[in-house]
Amino acid sequence: MFEDVTTRMQMINSRKMFVDPTYQRPLDPTRVKKIASSFNPCLVNEVKVSYRDGKYYIFDGQHTTAVLKLRNGGDVDISCKVFYGLTQKDEAYLFAQQNGELARAVVSNSKIKALYASGDIDIIELKELVEQAGFIFDFGRAKISKRICCCSQAYRIFRMTTCREFRAILNIIMESWDGEADSLRKEIIGGVAVLYLAHKPDLDIDRMVRAFQKESPNSILRAGKDYTTNESDIRFARALLRVYNKGLKQKNRLSEEPVIEFRWSKR
C-alpha cells in the first residue's frame, strides 16, 4: 500500500501547513491550552505531514502544531516528518491508525470519519445501511433529529449483526420514534438491538413498534437506570422489554431471561 512512499525530516513553517477537514477532527482550543500549560518541549514528537498537490497536510500533530504556535505567539518553524507519495485516502487511513501520546484523545467518531474517508469497506457499508433506514450518519456530536452521532455504538452493533438484522434494528427505531434525537442515543440503540436479537424468533415487530410509540425515549432512558445489570445494552433492553410486555397476558409475555443472559458475539 505504501511501497512508493518516501519520507524526509524537514523544518516547515506552520503557516505553510494545512489540515484536511474530510478526515481530521476540529481543533480543540481547550485541549490546546491544557497541553500548553504542562508542555515539555523535550517530549514533543515530530509532526507528520503529507506533501500533496503542492501543500503540506498535517495528519498527525494538529494539536502539537497549535501548541507550538501558542507558545511562540504566532507561526513557527516546526520539525516535521514529511511523507511524499501519499494520497488523501492514505492520509486518512494513517490518521485513523495513529496512536501516539498526543493522539490519546482522538474520539471514536473522528476515527470512524477518517476510516470512511480512507475508503474502509465496512464503514462505507455501515453508512449506506444507516441512510437506507432514513437516518443521517453524523460524525459530529450534535444531537439532532434523524442523525446518528453515536458512531462507535452503531459500528459495534453493525459488526455483531448481519445486514438484515442491523437494518431491522434501525427500522424499529425509526418506525417507533420517527428519528427523535433521544431515540438515537447509544442506550436506546443498544437496548433495541439486544431485545431484538435475544427474542428475534418470538417478537411481534408490529406490536413492538406500537408499544414503543406510546413511550418517549426519555422515559425508557430513566427506566433503564433502575436496573442493576452492569451491561448498559442489557439494562435498556430490559426497560424496553417491560414496555413490550405491558398489557399482555402472562402467557403472551416475553421472558427476561434471554435478555439478561444475552452476550454479544460476532455473527
Q: Which residues span the domain enclosing 198?
A: 121-260
Residue 50 pairs with which residues in a beta bridge?
A: 57, 83
Pair 135, 208 in one domain? yes
* Three-state SS annotation for 112-170: HHHHHHCCCHHHHHHHHHHHHCCCEECCCCCCCCCEECCHHHHHHHHHCCCHHHHHHHH
If asked whether residues 14 and 137 sit together in one domain, one would say: no
- The conformational region for residue 190 under phi > 0 = left, psi -120 to 50 = alpha, else beta, is alpha
**Which residue type, as a one-letter code, is found at position 5?**
V
- Each as own residue / partner, the long-range contacts of residues 134-138 (CB below 8 Å, 24 or more positions apart, any chain) are 134/174, 134/179, 135/170, 135/174, 135/179, 135/184
Does the structure show a pLDDT above 60 at 11?
yes
Residue 267 is assigned to a structural domain of this protein: no
Residue 89 located in a structural domain: yes
Query: How confident is the model over 17-23, as a mean pLDDT?
Result: 91
Residue 57 grid coordinates: 497536510
Instruction: Name the amino acid, one letter, at 63.
Output: H
Q: What value does the mean pLDDT of the chain take?
A: 89
| 3-class DSSP state of 46 | coil
The answer on 241 and 138 residing in a single domain is yes
Structure-model confidence comparison of residues 43 and 224, the more confident one = 224
- In DSSP terms, 137 is beta-bridged to 148
What is the CA angle 42-67-47, rounded to 5?
65
Q: Assess whether pLDDT exceeds 90 at residue 88.
A: yes
Calpha distance 67→75 (Å, rounded):
11
Note whether 250 and 197 are same-domain residues. yes
pLDDT higher than 80, residue 56: yes
- How many domains in the chain? 2
Mean pLDDT, range 220-231, rounded to an integer? 87
112 falls within a domain: no
Q: In the predicted model, is pLDDT for residue 171 greater than 60?
A: yes
Residue 116 placed within a domain? no
Same domain, 151 and 99: no
Say whether pLDDT at 114 is over 80.
Answer: yes
Return the CATH number at 91.
3.90.1530.10
Q: Which pLDDT score, from 0 to 100, does residue 98 have?
A: 66
Torsion angle (degrees, nearest 10) of CA 75, 81, 82, 87: -110
C-alpha cell at 218: 426519555
Question: Considering only CA atoms, which of 153, 193, 203, 201 is closest in space to residue 173?
Answer: 193
Cell of 85: 507519495
Give the confidence band of 53 by pLDDT, cuts at 50, 70, 90: very high
